[in-house]
Amino acid sequence: MKSLLEIDNAVKTINNDNQELNILDGINLSINPQDFIVVLGTNGAGKSTLLDAITGANTLSSGKILLNGDDITSTNLAKRSRYISRVYQDPKLGTSPRMTVAENLLLAKRRGLPRRLRLRRLNDHMKEFASFTKDLPTLDNRLNTFTDKLSGGQRQTLSFLMAIIQKPELLLLDEHTAALDPQTSQELMELTNKVIIEKKLTCLMVTHNLTEAVKYGNRLIVLKKGKIVLDLDNEAKSKLKEQDLLEYF
């Protein structure tokens, strides 16, 4: 199977107290179409730095990133956003607070398209957006609600919908349930899993949650000090227990 994304010997070096420190230290990773990879690691392991490198928010010190065989290592964040979507941990990131739910969805639907002056034609999309949110009690009938009036869970659900509305080549979830209460976190995680399977998305999800790491996805990666120290396929992952992961922390 041809890989969707290839990371080849990725290194990210920073200067810390006049000493060079590798946040990413020779990462090699192949992501196949429809992989749902869970990335686990402690603070400082390099999880978010890895996502930054994939999106183009942070440039590598050395190494390459290939998307569908094309070298995107030097491609800027705006161009990569046509193919790669990301949901952040903070519910306030990724949405515009002074725009309605429908306006945010329209913004996401046009992500990556050429920017030019034109009528928004928001009403032309309202039926589509109503269908898109009808099975979500948190957002149903809230298309005209301004985003800053939503709860954290509602706003994070909106961020997730915005990330997948165009069916990205690669979906990146950066601890997207970590800031929510346990009940809301579970509901969003169940929605996430359902959508990824139904839409056959390719996803890389960062988490601190051992339960989520064991329960979801078809592959598990553990990062430690900028290196991949564990990479389990679906069969090996299915035999894993939370206790087995504790030795890596």
Angle between helices 152-164 and 182-198 (to 10 degrees): 10
Contact 23, 46 (CB under 8 A): yes
246 vs 187, higher pLDDT? 187
In the predicted structure, residue 43 carries a pLDDT above the cut 90: no
User: pLDDT tens across 115-161, in order?
Assistant: 554 446 788 888 888 888 887 767 878 999 999 999 988 999 999 99
CA 228 to CA 27: how far, in whole Å? 7
* Domain map (residue ranges) of the chain: 96-167
Residue 51: in which H helix or E strand, if any? Answer: helix 47-55
Residue 109 has pLDDT above 80, yes or no: yes
pLDDT digits (tens, 9 = 90+) for 153-200: 899 999 999 999 989 999 999 999 988 888 888 989 999 999 999 999
